[in-house]
Structure 1
Amino acid sequence: MGFGIIMPVLPELIVELENVTLSEATWIGGLIAASYAVFQFLMGPLVGNLGDRFGRRPVFLLSLAGFSVDFLLMGFAQNILWLFIGRAVAGALGAIFGPANAVMADISSVEDRAKRFGSVGAAFGIGFMVGPALGGLLGEFGTRTPFFVAAALAAVTFVYGWFAFPETMPESSRRSFSLRRANPVGALLSLRKLPGVLGIALIYFIWVTSTNIYPVSWAYFAPIKYGWDSKMVGLSLTLVGVSMALVQVLLLGRMVKRFGERITAMIGLLAAAASMLAYAFNDSATIALMLCLFIGVQAMVMPSINAMMSKRTPTDGQGELQGFNGSLAALAALTAPLIYNTSLSYFTSDAVAVAFPGAPFILSAALAGIALASLWLLKPADATPPLNADT
């Protein structure tokens, strides 16, 4: 929710600090997003392995603390360097999605994991539902106000978690810490021993790169193409959050039970590619808002793919897997702004004869199509976990 609060106003803060146009701020915002991704890529496996050794609770609380520091630094920013430092801190300490999924793996059965991972996504969707709308409204009281509110919420969540969040990984399931595994390369070498995991992980990376167009580019794309202010950007992201939460709570479990994770993910990918192409060519602000509700179907993709990998990973390796996934997500988050924000900045600049802000959505749709084709071609042996995957 915290990042959702700052999303609508981050472009305005960049413009304020650097005295640049929104098109130029798009490129700077991409670099800021990349700084977060670099540190998350490096730290994801370390965080995951620390969770496998010392338990999920301390790692989860550390992540929450990292976000609070990030938002405070950005709120007090005197120049653009502060924003880079804040995002780097969040990337290093705040790789929260991996620990959250590791907790879900701890408390769920093999058959129930896609639904459990979906509940994590639903929680993030609810945060996306409330955060951007709140951020857009808070922006009326000053560009920096949303950052301080986000920092306060992260701090309150940390305090609540300190007293209320239980440890989900028993001592008997923990393993010794290995520096060899606590880095992206070490995690890759370890996970390659698990049949089918790396192939699915590549699809995961392609998909996360595709869907990252929304967190890294939407707050720049929507004002440029539709003339929206921060309140409208917040409203549109709220609609996305509503649709994602509804899909993950009401639809995901039923779809996985009936069709399995692979087909469910493919349906989500097809819907994602269609919505991205629609944004690329649609000029109507009304239709753009309606499409925000359709985007939610793609919320079935990540939990389904994650469950496919988790089912093939032993219990004491769930943290490592989620840490590796965190590094993949970070690598995707590093790649996405370089692709999307750079293309958006270029195709809306004076360097082109005819502006085409939809260019990054063409690229995003192409990646979703590649992920869809890869899942379609996935061998049944790679899509179905062995019977002893959860030991």
Structure 2
Amino acid sequence: MSEETKHKRPAALSFIFITVLIDTLGLGVIIPVLPKLLEQLGDYNTSMATQINGYLTFTYALMQFVFSSVLGNLSDRYGRRPVLLISMVGFGIDYALMAFAPNVFWLFVGRTIAGIAGASTTTATAYIADVSTGDNRAANFGLIGAATGLGFIMGIGLGGYLGEVGLRIPFMAAAGLALLNALYGFFVLPESLSVENRRPFDWSRANPIGALKRLTMYPAIAGLISAFSLVYIASKAVESVLAFFLVEKFKWSMSSISSLGIFIGVLLIAIQGGLIRIIIPKLGQQRSIVFGLLFYAIGLALIAFANQGWLMYVYMIPYCLGGISGPALQGLITSKVEPNEQGELQGGLNSLLSITTVIGPLLMSSLFAHFTNPKTSSIYFPGAPYLLGAILMLISTVIAIRSFKRTNANHPALDSGVK
């Protein structure tokens, strides 16, 4: 890393923070608006709208699966800066397109573009790895979680409150933010990957299947990668039905959904942006992972059986505390990979996570639709996706603990993640 990059590191990390924030914002904007938007674009009830949302998320995730490894490998060859800037322009185009979508088909077109641009998260996490050292690696990855929290706040806030004024206005606001961030990054973002750490672009390593195969090069962290995948199936997929769950069970309005979204975002920022900097050094990364996964499981189980709307605020506290597991997991995984392979690793991880996002929303939305439609089930249980999520978190906890026992004998430095 050059002296100029070190000097500009705060501005660079700010740009990465905003980039991930806008990525999440684009997903959050849709959450409170989509039920009404689908009602406007076609005649859909809650169950059908939930399934369409699952297909939209499937489209987004499929594009991320295809392009994450490509963008990650391109960033290993040409640097992180150009990939990030081009992706932000792509986000702006996507949101502008969705703002004027005349029918559901164009929502799918928009999600396709967003999935390609959203694959830049691969490069953003590689950038974090480039500018991080052992003692601040997990904390810097916490910026990704904090950006996710703030993006959740802004996305749901824009979607709910601006959506009350006009269903298309939130997308226009998101488009403006993405393009402004691209302009900001053009002037302040330094390159983080030095020329000597770059490597030739190789299609055999850049294709998504090849990227997944490359993950097998790291057997010491195979269990952690498996746990990482289950966490995202349980959390990201279940989040995709949140608005529909709140509308179906508690008859919440868009503004009510936005208020809960803002509360969740504040919690995530406090935990990911601040609390983990205290917790992870004190507990160590392995204990942080275990406690985080257990908090996730408890929160999801409570949400599944919530019988009053105000309890959602209470139950979201343990769920959001589960967020300490993500940076700790990612810190452990990235600490075992060489600098010139970080983009490839992140591409492989994002491809893997994209598969979970392909599977998860379809599974969870179908489960929700099944247990809320009297024609398909005699049991009414809209909390079914959350209960399944809790079970997956417990399985992930067991896998992680078993992985620690196997790896500690050969890699005693794994728990600290600083070597």
TM-score normalised by the chain length of structure 1: 0.95
Structure 2 counterpart of 1:345, from 369, 379, 386: 369
CA shift, 1:5, in A, is 2.7
CA shift, 1:130, in A, is 2.8
Say if 1:139 and 1:145, in contact at 8 Å, map to a contact too: yes
Q: 1:390 to 1:314 in 2, by over 3 A?
A: farther
CA shift, 1:303, in A, is 1.1
Q: Where does residue 101 of structure 2 map in the other structure?
A: 77
Q: Which moved more, 1:241-250 or 1:122-131?
A: 122-131
Q: Where does residue 375 of structure 1 map in the other structure?
A: 400
**1:288-307 correspondence runs (5 A):** 288-307=312-331
**3-state SS of 2:44 partner:** coil
CA shift, 1:285, in A, is 0.6
CA shift, 1:385, in A, is 5.0
Q: String of CA shifts for 1:253-274, please: whole Å, max 9, x gaps.
A: 2222122212101111101111
Q: Where does residue 257 of structure 1 map in the other structure?
A: 281
CA shift, 1:215, in A, is 3.5
Say if 1:45 and 1:182, in contact at 8 Å, map to a contact too: yes
Q: Where does residue 191 of structure 2 map in the other structure?
A: 167
CA shift, 1:7, in A, is 2.1
**1:177-196 correspondence runs (5 A):** 177-196=201-220
Q: Where does residue 353 of structure 2 map in the other structure?
A: 329
**3-state SS of 2:205 partner:** coil
Partners in 1 of 2:411 and 2:198 — Cα distance? 23
RMSD: 1.9
Q: String of CA shifts for 1:294-350, please: whole Å, max 9, x gaps.
A: 322111121111111101111100011111111112111111111111111111112
Partners in 1 of 2:39 and 2:345 — Cα distance? 39
CA shift, 1:126, in A, is 1.6
Q: Where does residue 162 of structure 2 map in the other structure?
A: 138
Q: 1:49 to 1:314 in 2, by over 3 A?
A: same
Partners in 2 of 1:114 and 1:37 — Cα distance? 25
Partners in 1 of 2:95 and 2:390 — Cα distance? 31
CA shift, 1:137, in A, is 0.7
Q: 1:385 to 1:44 in 2, by over 3 A?
A: farther
CA shift, 1:135, in A, is 2.1
Partners in 2 of 1:343 and 1:191 — Cα distance? 31
CA shift, 1:67, in A, is 1.7
Partners in 1 of 2:273 and 2:412 — Cα distance? 28
CA shift, 1:290, in A, is 2.2
Q: What letter is aligned with 2:388?
A: L
Deviant stretches of 4+, over 6 Å: 386-391
Structure 2: segments with no counterpart, 5+ residues? 1-24
Q: Where does residue 65 of structure 1 map in the other structure?
A: 89
CA shift, 1:386, in A, is 7.6
Say if 2:238 and 2:364, in contact at 8 Å, map to a contact too: no
**3-state SS of 1:180 partner:** helix
Q: Where does residue 385 of structure 2 map in the other structure?
A: 360
Structure 1: segments with no counterpart, 5+ residues? none
Structure 2 counterpart of 1:225, from 242, 249, 255: 249
Partners in 1 of 2:351 and 2:411 — Cα distance? 23
**3-state SS of 1:16 partner:** helix
Identity %: 34
Q: What letter is aligned with 1:374?
A: I
Aligned residues: 391
Partners in 2 of 1:231 and 1:333 — Cα distance? 27
Partners in 2 of 1:14 and 1:211 — Cα distance? 24
Partners in 2 of 1:192 and 1:110 — Cα distance? 23
Q: 1:36 to 1:129 in 2, by over 3 A?
A: same
CA shift, 1:81, in A, is 1.0
CA shift, 1:144, in A, is 1.2
Structure 2 counterpart of 1:53, from 71, 74, 77: 77
Q: What letter is aligned with 2:182?
A: F
